[in-house]
Structure 1
Amino acid sequence: MLWTLIVLGGFAALAVSILIAVTLGPADISPVNVRDVLLNHLGLTDVPVRVSKNAIVWEERLPRALVAAACGAGLGICGVIMQSLLRNPLADPFVLGISSGASTGAVIVGVLGVGGAALGLSGGAFLGSLVAFGLVLLLARMSGGSNDRVILAGVASTQLFSALTSFVIFAFADSDETRGVMFWLLGSLEGVRWDDVTLCAIVVLAGAAVCLYFAYVLDAFSFGDDVAASLGIAVAKVRMLLLVVTALITATLVSVAGAIGFVGLVLPHAARFLVGPRHSRLVPATALLGAVFMVWVDAISRVAFAPTPLPVGVGTALIGVPAFIVILSRRRSVR
């Protein structure tokens, strides 16, 4: 009963958060305007709404809020998977070097023009993420494939692609290109559209379904590979599958919204405090908490320095770094 109330409360909080977020911004949009626009597009009413307000709500703010929710949910789920598979409470989705690979891919397209209009920044970022993940898997397999080796391979990949990104910008980018790419790399939801909403929603929902299906496996991994193997789990195959799911979710979200850090690191710990360590509850709780968190971070980042929006990745870092320090302090006190 309590779990049901928590889930229903989470969905209600998410719906209210999105509604409020859509009203925030330089243009005056009331909750009544949002309601009328939504009901009109759903075909339930035909209330006259000014064209400008309809465009702001339906074409700009609502897709942005929904993508923010998808990013928070998806990165939170990836954090849960990484911390369980690697048995490291400080692991997050970007430990596999995916963010750095996405940055390099975006810079190659944006600065060098490789792929041009056929790819765009998002397409380049997605391909760069997959290349980085492939390199991590290759390095980890060459060195034995243990959890520690995966982390070390991720660190090496991160450093490599960060250096490549800096080199391309330093050697080939002019000031305008550098400014545009760097703003995107800091995390930005500017200009997202319904196509992005559809893509992010499908990937995150599919990833969440896979994680819930393997919830008992994630519980076993939390106690180590030997325990998981003793329960009849194909440790290597399942770990690879879940790592691939994590990579695809992260690569998709980074390709749409840029690098958004600390969500996958901090939110799983907050969810564990609320619902405990069982992954059948931890995964949906983290997804809901991450969605609500990101909607509010994006809304505040959008209006804090209006009319110039603060990159959402900066907002998550400002909140995530203090939380990260708290986690480190708790680990030290436990030891």
Structure 2
Amino acid sequence: MTDAAAPARVRTRIALPLFGAGLVALVLSLSVAVSVGAVTVPLATVWGVIAERTLPGLHLADWPRGHAAIVWEVRLPRALLAAMVGAGLALVGASLQSVTRNPLADPHLLGISAGGAFGAILALLHTGLFLGLMTVPLMAFAGALGATLLVLAVTSFARATSADRLVLAGVAVSFVVMSCANVLIFLGDPRATHTVVFWMLGGLGLAQWDQLLYPAALLAACGAWLMAHAGRLNAMTVGDEMASTLGIPVARFRLSVFVVGAALTGCMVAFSGIIGFVGLMVPHIVRLVLGGDYARVLPGAALVGAIFLVWADILARTAMAPEDIPIGIVTGLIGGAFFVWLLRRR
């Protein structure tokens, strides 16, 4: 008993220092993300602009006005959005892998991203920006939630409350919704399809300060809910029967996690487009280091997901500067290579 518990005690001991190092790494990553690009801004200027904007009068503005605009209006909101999207997708992936007991589960599993794509395509090619700049994010969010409700309706109709049947229902809905989205592209204006393609491959170039409140608030609320149920997520990884003997209403809790995951993914997809592999890859990395306890996996996944997507965005912006590579291409290349390595490790 003592020997079996030893690795868990070791991981618990090293978790706090690792989280501290991760927070430092995240701050440094955000600093680099704001600094590099087509125009390089010194790190001292980056922090000077942030200090001057957050505490006016505290710092003497001795940098070019153009640098201040680049830091505050363009790169900082983009870097913060990358961190929030990475954290949100990683949290959803980790929680779905628990309740489905499927190591390949990720936020796209239930057709959530397909629903977001449908809503965004509808706005970009057919309805127009009738709500201003918020039209595409709101329509994408509505599409993601609509796809989730459709999955829940299918599971209710088919009485598919088990983990494997919920996954199959999500896959079926994803195919149907993406087919409808492709019909919208086929019927839309060919001159606008390049915008749709870029959004479907993921991008953070539309980040604005007045929009960051929505993903930040939902990330905090959903992350807190998932953390509060870390014990139940641990039990769900063992199996439905074991979770039931512990007094967990298995079917209801699994659906609750699906709804929370859908809301969080829908919000992130609404502001970033479709970004794959983050929710699939990051939880596995965290478990290799911190073990399977969801009290450590969830905050670890959020932290590693944030750092990973910040650096993926840096690569997307600098690899072919001044052109932006869709960030979904970068995460797909890295994620594919990671899973080849994971298969090698068995």
TM-score normalised over the length of structure 2: 0.92
Q: Which residue in 2 is equivalent to 1:159? A: 175
Shift of 1:117: 2.7
Residue in structure 1 matched with residue 19 of structure 2 by the alignment: 7
> 1:197: how far off?
2.3
Give, in whole Å, the separation in 2 of the partners of 1:202 and 1:106. 21
> Structure 2: where are the runs of 5+ without partners?
1-12
Match of 1:39 in 2: 51
Contact 1:207 1:249 in 2 (8 A): yes
How far apart are the structure 2 equivalents of 1:191 and 1:134? 28
Following superposition, the deviation at residue 240 of structure 1 comes to 1.8
Q: Please tell me the residue identity of whatever aligns with 1:149.
A: R
Identity percentage of aligned residues:
38
**What is the correspondence of 1:1-335 to structure 2 with a 5 Å cutoff?**
1-43=13-55, 45-48=58-61, 49-113=63-127, 116-117=130-131, 120-144=135-159, 145-175=161-191, 177-330=192-345, 333=346
Moved more, 107-116 or 20-29: 107-116
1:327 Cα offset (Å): 3.5
User: Shift of residue 159 of structure 1?
Assistant: 0.8
SS at match of 2:313: helix
TM-score by length of 1: 0.95
User: 1:211-249: CA deviations, max 9, x gaps?
Assistant: 110000000000111111100112222222211110011
Shift of 1:166: 1.1
Alpha-carbon displacement from aligned partner over 1:120-168 (angstroms, at most 9, x marks no partner): 1111111110111111111112222211111111111111111111111
Structure 2 counterpart of 1:99, one-letter code: S
Task: Provide the C-alpha distance between the structure 1 equivalents of 2:330 and 2:129, rounded to a whole number of angstroms.
Answer: 31
Contact 2:129–2:136, Cα closer than 8 Å, also in 1: no
State the shift of 1:328 in Å: 4.2
Cα distance in 1 for partners of 2:97, 2:104 equals 7
Contact 1:140/1:146, CA 8 A, preserved across alignment: no
**Is contact 1:140–1:150 with CA below 8 Å preserved after alignment?**
yes
2-side partners of 1:327 and 1:7: how far apart? 24
For these two proteins, the number of residue pairs brought into alignment is: 330
Alpha-carbon shift at residue 325 of structure 1 (Å): 3.0
Q: Distance in 1 between matches of 2:86 and 2:122?
A: 27
Instruction: Name stretches of at least 5 consecutive residues in structure 1 with no aligned partner.
Output: none
When structure 1 is superposed on structure 2, of 135-144 and 89-98 the one drifting more is 135-144
Q: Check the 8 A contact 1:67/1:196 in 2, yes or no.
A: no
Measured against aligned partners, the alpha-carbon deviations of 1:161-198 in whole angstroms (never above 9, x if no partner) come to: 111111111122222x1001111111000020112322
Query: How far apart, in 2, do the equivalents of 1:249 and 1:302 lie?
Result: 25
Provide the C-alpha distance between the structure 1 equivalents of 2:171 and 2:96, rounded to a whole number of angstroms: 14
Report the Cα offset of residue 324 of structure 1. 2.5
The RMSD of aligned alpha carbons is 1.4
Q: Which is further off, 143-152 or 262-271?
A: 143-152
The Cα shift of 1:114 comes to 6.1
